[in-house]
Structure 1
Amino acid sequence: MGNQKLFKGSLQTIILKLLASNDKMYGYEITQKVKELTKGELQITEGALYPALHKLEADGLLDVEVAKVGNRMRKYYKLTESGTKETVNKLEEMQEFLKTMQQLVNPKFSLE
């Protein structure tokens, strides 16, 4: 994707969706999963990912679990009950947004 700015407003939704699908994940794992799923089109930087994770945690949508892996500590992020509910809301909002954008960009094409 030529313009990485287009997905920045969707980063929280992307994170929530991945965690809903994968139970718990650590930061690097999230970046790699996005890269894999988009065939390299989207690449989340640490500078974008960790502030988004911290915000979701502060908002009560994520729990953090620390585990020792080898000689290092790894933070795993997992949805809270509120996070699960918010994921549903965010995904519905995203679907509506995409439908609206499609109507603007290509009015002859309908997602319904």
Structure 2
Amino acid sequence: MGNQKLYKGSLQTIILKLLAQNDKMYGYEISQKVKELTKGELLITEGALYPALHKLEAEGHLEVEVAKVGNRLRKYYKLTERGTKETINRLSQMQDFIQTMQQLVNPKLSLD
């Protein structure tokens, strides 16, 4: 997609959804999974990913597990109970948003 700005407001929701599906993931793994799922249309930079992860952690939605992989430490992110509830809430909001945008962009295809 030519305009990455459209995805910017959805980054935290994307992260929460992936973690809900995959139990725990590390940062690079998240960015690669998004790239894979979007067939390269959405590329998440470290400069966008890590601030979003840190914000979700500070809000109590994520917990961090540190594991030694080879001779380096890797941070795995995992949903907290609060994060699981927030994921459900944000996905519902996203569905509502998509439906509203569909009505605006292409009313003939709306389900209503």
Taking the aligned partners of 2:102 and 2:95, their CA distance within structure 1 comes to: 10
Stretches of structure 2 lacking an aligned partner (at least 5 in a row): none
Equivalent residue of 1:41, what SS? coil
Q: TM-score, normalised by structure 2?
A: 0.98
**Which residue does 1:44 correspond to in 2?**
44
Taking the aligned partners of 1:47 and 1:111, their CA distance within structure 2 comes to: 38
Equivalent residue of 1:39, what SS? coil
Deviation at residue 56 of structure 1 after TM alignment: 0.1
RMSD of the TM alignment (CA)? Answer: 0.7
Which aligned pairs between 1:57-76 and structure 2 lie closer than 5 A? 57-76=57-76
Cα deviations by residue, 1:8-47 (Å, 9 ceiling, x for unpaired): 0000000000000000000000000000000000000000
Deviation at residue 110 of structure 1 after TM alignment: 1.5
Deviation at residue 111 of structure 1 after TM alignment: 4.2
Equivalent residue of 2:107, what SS? coil
**Which residue does 1:105 correspond to in 2?**
105
Deviant stretches of 4+, over 4 Å: none
Letter in 2 for 1:57: E
Taking the aligned partners of 1:64 and 1:87, their CA distance within structure 2 comes to: 17
Taking the aligned partners of 1:30 and 1:22, their CA distance within structure 2 comes to: 10
Taking the aligned partners of 2:15 and 2:37, their CA distance within structure 1 comes to: 13
**1:60–1:7: structure 2 CA closer, same or farther, 3 Å change rule?**
same
Equivalent residue of 1:108, what SS? helix
Identity %: 84
Equivalent residue of 2:78, what SS? strand
Stretches of structure 1 lacking an aligned partner (at least 5 in a row): none
Q: Count the aligned residue pairs.
A: 112
Taking the aligned partners of 1:61 and 1:85, their CA distance within structure 2 comes to: 9
Equivalent residue of 2:41, what SS? coil
